[in-house]
Amino acid sequence: MLIDLSGKTALVTGSTQGIGRAIAGTLADAGARVAINGRTPDTVEAAVDALRADGAGRDLVAAPGDVTDEAGAAAVLAASGDVDVLVNNLGIFGATPALDITDEEWRRYFDVNVLAAVRLIRATLPGMTGRGWGRVLNIASDSAIVIPEEMIHYGVSKTALLAVSRGFAKEAAGSGVTVNSVIAGPTRTGGVERFVYELVDPTLPWEEAQREFMRLHRPQSLLRRLIEPQEIANLVVYLASPLASATTGAAVRVDGGYVDSIVP
């Protein structure tokens, strides 16, 4: 399949590393002008330089700012320009016993994992519908469906993101704009590697630690390994393309078979 996003501008939040960075690079390879986002100018510029070094001809723009804050989000959008493809990738996670999660921590997870996405959708959706084309993609998680006992606040925030996606898809109905969630399974990123070592013996070599983590904490996975960020990016870029014009209001899984269900 030929995916051509030439002439489109994409904003990927939290794209200086991990899944977001893989998505940004793959969107750029498809011809999109991609706004790279992180909280500080230094980290964003470093990511832009690395992405350009990894792929010749990538059209990238720095869009630093904290999208969990109204002023920061406004600055990011001003640097991005008119957004045709919005990828709400920013998210936080971490293991905390259920009864130890404070009100403050519940609010922080909601602000970062849900409200930041809602804020950017509100800001960009009118322009997309006015132009008659657009894509909104919210990066969710298998934890939205299989709530992990070690971080229920994270799981609940991602469940909310599925509802946000479905609701805004209804708002965009008939406009040529699609809104979807991507349910990502356990993925190998720097943050996840640290998380793995919080839950298994930190002296184990990585490959052994990964196998132990999957065996003990993610036994439902049919891949029996962590997913690579590029595997997530491949689905996201398809959904961002004109080829996915009939997919909207959906929660599309790239989870390695982790969710034990025969329906999406």
Dump the DSSP string for 164-198.
HHHHHHHHTTTTTEEEEEEEE-SB--HHHHHHHHH
Angle, vertex CA 107, rays to CA 195 and CA 64, nearest 5: 70
Show the domains of the chain with their CATH numbers: 9-187+228-252 (3.40.50.720), 188-226 (no CATH)
How many Å apart are CA 148 and CA 82, to the nearest integer?
Answer: 37
- What pLDDT shows up at residue 191? 86
Which residue reads 């002023």 in tokens?
Answer: 71
Active site residue 154: yes
Are 125 and 134 spatial neighbours (Cβ–Cβ below 8 Å)? yes
Mean pLDDT across the stretch 139-148?
96
Q: If you average pLDDT over residues 126-136, what whole number do you get? A: 98
Question: What confidence tens digit (pLDDT) does each residue in 15-37 have?
Answer: 999 999 999 999 999 999 999 99
Q: Residue 110 pLDDT more than 90?
A: yes
Least confident of 35-44, 85-94, 214-223: 214-223
Full-model pTM: 0.95
Residue 170: its pLDDT value, please? 98
CA distances from 169 to 86, 173, 174, 177 (A): 13, 6, 9, 8
Mean pLDDT to the nearest integer, 137-165: 97
Catalytic hit among 154, 197, 238, 258: 154
Q: What does the pLDDT look like over 181-237, one tens digit per residue?
A: 999 999 999 888 998 999 999 999 999 999 999 999 989 999 999 999 999 999 999
Distance CA 224, CA 142 (A): 15
* Tokens linked to 61: 């723009």
Instruction: Give the type of residue at 238.
Output: Y
Angle between helices 152-171 and 103-110 (to 10 degrees): 40
CA-based max dimension of the chain: 55
| CA of residue 184 relative to chain centroid, distance | 8
